[in-house]
Structure 1
């Protein structure tokens, strides 16, 4: 599989990034052993780049996989919500210990929205930059669903990598269109920044036009890599073939057609509304004690499940 340098970081990553969110507790809830087997299989198919986060709770899966992967050839990105030196240190040490590694290739602040949030988290950024100076982080960055955060990143040369929403309809972008996101990313790319996209299929909402989705992201010259959430061997095979420009077997495509995913809320939901507050995409509404889902807005991130006190939200 093609590898490309991520901006000017010196880090070479596969065009396909293994998104680990979907295998974790917020979605498929695979065991660490099951998840590790998928990660290893992806590596054997040419995927040397994996995206994770403290929120995803997939560190145990990655840890087990790394015991059978050449760490020097494997690129791990993770992220957290730290805002102070103390919270940054806690999250970073948790990542190192959980992953069983001495360094993390790319460490990011999760879900940044604007210059204000970047500024408000700058004490944490200073800690991560210190870790970079010690060789424990190779590159620093942010993930975002906002055009404004990409524009703000241009003012911070210490932000070397951005992980933004990129899909042909701009689904999930909170403050603009895909055209606006593209222009902001193009400026960041021109400045030497690295970019790997997320939600290329709009959280599953664009699966009816999957070929066009792949064509769109593969033709974007600004993208060094694109992350796809993968939770089965079939998904890995399908995505690898599409990224490599290979023909997808009809039987493989048919098997995946029957595996569309949705956000599911169990009947024991108590209607506390915590998930509604968590959802930046405005896909959830509390009405008469019941949660209602606007599936046209839901991008299947599963972040709402992380705040459910009753553990009744899953994506499957």
Structure 2
């Protein structure tokens, strides 16, 4: 097969199809419920506003539930209207566990997002197909470049961008983007021609958010992060908020405030939260419904 490059992608009907979707939805029109279906910008992928995350402390929290406990949790989320599930290559067994948990549910009733680690010496096509096999899925609705944390990531990850676009040409990936950590990386998102979806750390306090040092132990720069979210939204990228509850550090009131901030101030399209109990899922739905009211 001829290598499918980013330049070729942008010149083909694939790019046209990707771009021919609606732009950002006005805040007033977004008000509704946590389980409403929204479109992630120019990707065209439709997901629930609230996602089920499998990466609490790199998936340790979810893995410790065991397969049966994790499956019950996934089914509780699904039965209560959450139809967007996200995982990552670096989350240990979570691709396999998620595939088991979703087995038997019609594939066209939910969406899966994965994130791939952009290592040297790894074949992108082989890795993406491996992740599909592990997750027991023919395709991923969204594939992100994971943990892009330097200012040079747009060029450093070029081989992986080409690999994801080649996978999209085979329809084993439907939408694509990157998760970014640190302000130097996030500053490269506005104007980026590869990104259809941006995954951004966002909450009202700055806990576990972006600063000059992506791994800072201090607080992130909330106003600058929000400014970049607004900029990419204006360019019709979909935005997914993460670290919404400060890596589990927030109490109930701050969890409410964080949800309100993410949607009303930052203006994200959806958020992903990691859970360890049905009660946490129920609370997240309640908090998001309140934020949208």
Give the corresponding residue for 1:223: 268
Give 1:38's aligned residue. 73
Q: Counterparts of 2:188 and 2:266 in 1: how far apart (Å)?
A: 21
Partner of 1:112: 148
Residue pair 1:84, 1:123 contacting (<8 A) in 2 also: no
Query: Which residue of the partner structure matches residue 165 of structure 1?
Result: 201
Give the corresponding residue for 2:163: 127
Q: Which residue of 1 aligns with 2:15?
A: none
Residues 14 and 225 of structure 1 are in contact (CA less than 8 Å); yes or no, is this contact kept in structure 2?
yes
What does residue 101 of structure 1 align with?
137
Structure number with greater Rg is 1
Distance 1:202 1:86 in 2: 32
SS in 2 for 1:60: helix
Equivalent residue for 1:198, pick from 238, 242, 253: 242
The structure with higher relative contact order (CA 8 Å, sep 6+) is 2
Q: Which moved more, 1:107-116 or 1:184-193?
A: 107-116
Deviates more, 1:144-153 or 1:227-236: 144-153
- Choose from 238, 259, 269 the match for 1:214: 259
CA offsets, 1:166-218, max 9 Å, x none?
00012222325111011111111111100110011111233263332222123
State the shift of 1:23 in Å.
8.9
Matches within 5 A, 1:1-316: 1-22=35-56, 26-28=60-62, 29-56=64-91, 57-84=93-120, 86-172=122-208, 173-175=210-212, 177-207=221-251, 209-220=254-265, 222-245=267-290
Secondary structure in 1 aligned to 2:265? Answer: coil
Q: Do 1:114 and 1:149's aligned partners in 2 also have CA atoms closer than 8 Å?
A: yes
**Partner Cα separation in structure 1 for residue 54 and residue 89 of structure 2:** 11
Gaps in structure 2 of 5+ consecutive residues: 1-34, 213-219
Cα distance in structure 2, aligned partners of 1:7 and 1:25: 28
| TM-score, structure 2 normalization | 0.78
4+ residue segments displaced more than 6 Å: none
Distance 2:167 2:144 in 1: 12
The answer on whether the counterparts of 1:54 and 1:95 sit within 8 Å (CA) in structure 2 is yes
Structure 2 CA distance for aligned equivalents of residues 27 and 141 of structure 1: 26
Question: Matched residue of 1:237: which SS?
Answer: helix
Q: Deviations over 1:237-294 (max 9, x none)?
A: 1111222239xxxxxxxxxxxxxxxxxxxxxxxxxxxxxxxxxxxxxxxxxxxxxxxx
User: How does the TM-score come out when normalised to structure 1?
Assistant: 0.72
CA 1:33–1:91: 2 relative to 1, 3 Å: farther
**When the two structures are aligned, how many residues end up with a matched partner?**
246
Q: Which runs of 5+ in 1 are unaligned?
A: 247-316
